[in-house]
Amino acid sequence: MTSQSAPRTARDFARIELTRAILEAARRHLAEVGPGELSVRSIARDLGMASSAVYRYFPSRDHLITALLVQCYDESAALVEAADAAVRPDRLRQRWIAMTLALRAWALDNQHEYALLYGSPVPGYAAPQDTVGPATRVPQALLQLMADAEEAGTVLGAPTAPLSRKERAALAPISASVGRPISDERVLRSLTGWALLIGGLSLELFGHLNRGVLDYDLNFRCLVEQAADDFGL
Amino acid sequence: MTSQSAPRTARDFARIELTRAILEAARRHLAEVGPGELSVRSIARDLGMASSAVYRYFPSRDHLITALLVQCYDESAALVEAADAAVRPDRLRQRWIAMTLALRAWALDNQHEYALLYGSPVPGYAAPQDTVGPATRVPQALLQLMADAEEAGTVLGAPTAPLSRKERAALAPISASVGRPISDERVLRSLTGWALLIGGLSLELFGHLNRGVLDYDLNFRCLVEQAADDFGL
DNA sequence: CAGAAACGAGAGCACCGCTCTTGTTTCTGT
DNA sequence: ACAGAAACAAGAGCGGTGCTCTCGTTTCTG
């Protein structure tokens, strides 16, 4: 780890402070240039230090990106969770709408960050273990919504052919992560919802709707409303 | 344009041949390194020419990427269309399954190419007009399927609240592109289907299902089967 | 057959991630 | 208190990138 517990000495304090400053500058750059062109050198210039000094705090550009990844996952997930919590728990449909709109709002405000999280992986980059926790917060929130829907006894929209044993087995780790009983059909529904959400946002933000859809806000709203219908919310 | 009609002279011939060779080498590299690290220099090395010579044929790296973009859009769309055509036209559900499986198969075989098409845009890159035609072939195929479903008189799965006038207006360019009558609800369904398809593939290929889903093949199949149910196919 | 156009190759510019060395500052054990 | 160890900032440097410019050669065209 980079910082051990408390800043005992002045040096410790300076270290965590500079680490924060570097990350902050990186994030500031990310607002303008996109993940692929994030440059350690320009960040260092921005902070008035030699580029080699940055490597005292982040051993490589990838480590810096990992830190940004975690920060952005957490930031967006916090917004989604907050939007969820702001709605009465039994208003299931409204919660779904609120969560999806929250993620879209964040994505629109932080397009390069969205690309970092859900776009193509950065060049030679393989996400380390640190990111998986934060990365699962949003899909977990969707899962919890579905579990609530199951407890409330809502019926799924369209009739679905029952899943085979093998199909159920493939979803086992997810079902187990919910922490309470949930049918495999609902687990699958949350996956669908997640895929639809990310797909819709990616198509919009990566420019695939350019010629075609005129009103992006309205289009996204239609998408999630229709999904709510399908999910029986 | 790069080549005007016929290769009249030996030089013309050499030019289109070399252009093709460069593109081919670029594509070969793309199978291994990912769009962001495609390097003009390494492609030139691969062909045994000076990097500056490549710029006689593609004025910039972005132009080269554009050519790859078009090629990949066309290649994947051709597979999707072929899969569609291989099924009896009135087997709507089977056509949907075939098309989605075809795109997934291509994406799995060409992961970097998929990232190029549907991942985050390449750094400073803005897709020019040339790419929009090929890019719309897949969503167009989905739209045509939905139009066929409408003609066949299938009913949509879950009940949907009717779209508002503004919502219908936002979809107008797409409806018009179908070339025959289609309800706005079905247009919206194709958008949902497209978003779900791209979202599902992106989540899978960009590593978001790593811990969770055990069997990717099965999971994707479940996704599209369930979507077929929702779409009333 | 001369002039023009296209060509390939090389040097060079400014940038990148990253490493190594050097000299300085700060902490720590005795 | 002080010496040794550890952390630090800065600079030079390596090999890579996209791209430009120049220069000598080849090919086409009027």
- Domains of chain A are 1-59 (1.10.10), 69-231 (1.10.357.10)
Q: What's residue B1's pLDDT?
A: 38
pLDDT band at A124 (very low <50, low <70, confident <90, very high): low
**Residue A3 — pLDDT band, cuts 50, 70, 90?**
very low
DSSP labels for A200-219? HHHHHHTTTTTTT-S-HHHH
Task: Give chain B's end-to-end CA distance (angstroms, integer).
Answer: 43
Rounded Cα gap, residues B82 and B100, in angstroms: 12
Q: What is the 3-state secondary structure (H, E, C) of A135-176?
A: HCHHHHHHHHHHHHHHHHCCCCCCCCCCCCHHHHHHCHHHHH
Asked if A223 and B192 come within 8 Å (Cβ–Cβ), the reply is: yes
CA trace torsion B45, B50, B53, B55 (10° rounding): 60
**Is A135 within 8 Å of A74 (Cβ atoms)?**
no
Determine the distance between A52 (CA) and D14 (C1') in angstroms: 14
Distance CA B144, CA B177 (A): 10
Residue B146 or B123, more confident: B146
Q: How far apart are CA A16 and CA A2, in angstroms?
A: 8
For residue B9, the 8-state DSSP code is S
- C16 C1' – A40 CA distance, angstroms? 9
The residue of chain A with its CA nearest to that of B205 is A120
Percent of chain B with pLDDT over 70: 93
Task: Tell me the angle at which helices A111-118 and A10-33 cross, rounded to the nearest 10 degrees.
Answer: 100
- By C-alpha distance, the chain B residue nearest A121 is B206
Q: Please give the nucleotide, over all strands, whose C1' is closest to the CA of residue B37.
A: D17
Quick: pLDDT tens for B154-201. Answer: 877 766 778 899 999 999 999 999 999 999 999 999 999 999 999 999
B161 DSSP assignment: P
Looking at residue A69, its pLDDT comes to 96
On the question of pLDDT at B2 being above 50, the answer is no
Write down the number of H helices and E strands in chain A: 12, 0
Per-chain mean pLDDT for chain A: 92
CB-closest option in B115, B171, B218 to A120? B115
Alpha helix stretches (DSSP H) within chain B = 10-33, 40-47, 51-54, 61-85, 92-109, 111-118, 132-135, 137-152, 165-170, 172-178, 184-205, 216-231
Q: Which amino acid is at B209?
A: L
Q: Is the pLDDT of residue A86 over 50?
A: yes
B residues 68-127 closer than 8 Å to A (CB): 115-116, 118-124, 127
Binning pLDDT at 50, 70 and 90, where does residue A195 land?
Answer: very high
C-alpha–C-alpha distance, residues A40 and A70, integer Å: 18
Scanning every residue of chain A, which has its alpha carbon at the shortest distance from the alpha carbon of B231? A158
User: How far is B205 from A121, CA to CA, in rounded Å?
Assistant: 9
Q: Which has the closest alpha carbon to B231: B116, B87, B97?
A: B97
Nucleotide nearest to B9 (CA to C1'): D28
**CA distance to partner chain A, nearest, from residue B202 (Å):** 8
On whether any CB of chain B is under 8 Å from the CB of A14, the answer is: no
User: Is-contact A115 A205, C-beta < 8 A?
Assistant: yes
Indicate the average pLDDT of chain B.
92
Q: Which of B123, B199, B215 sits opposite A36 (nearest CB)?
A: B123
Q: Which residue is nearest to nucleotide C28 (CA to C1')?
A: A9
Q: What is the mean pLDDT of the segment spanning B77-99?
A: 98
Question: What local confidence, expressed as pLDDT, does residue B125 receive?
Answer: 61
Q: Torsion angle, CA of B169/B174/B180/B186, rounded to 10 degrees?
A: -80
pLDDT 10s digits, B111-139: 999 999 999 886 556 667 789 899 999 99
Alpha carbon distance A12, B217 (integer Å): 49
Q: Which chain B residue lies closest to A134 (C-alpha atoms)?
A: B208
Q: Does any CB of chain B come closer than 8 Å to the CB of residue A170? A: yes
Q: Which nucleotides of D are covered by protein (CB under 7 A)?
A: 7-12, 16-22, 27-29
Distance A45 CA to D2 C1' (A): 38
**B129 and chain A: CB distance < 8 Å anywhere?**
no
Please compute the mean of the pLDDT values over residues A59-67 and round it to a whole number. Answer: 96
Give the pLDDT of residue A95: 98
Q: How far is the CA of B150 from the C1' of D21 (A)?
A: 61
Check residue A154 and give its pLDDT: 81
Q: For residues A79 and A187, what is the distance between their CA atoms, to the nearest angstrom?
A: 23
- A215 CB neighbours in chain B (<8 A) are 166-167, 169-170
List C-alpha distances in Å: A148 to A88, A115, A187, B90: 12, 31, 12, 39
CA of A95 to C1' of C14 (A): 51
Report d(CA A75, CA A69) in Å as an integer: 10
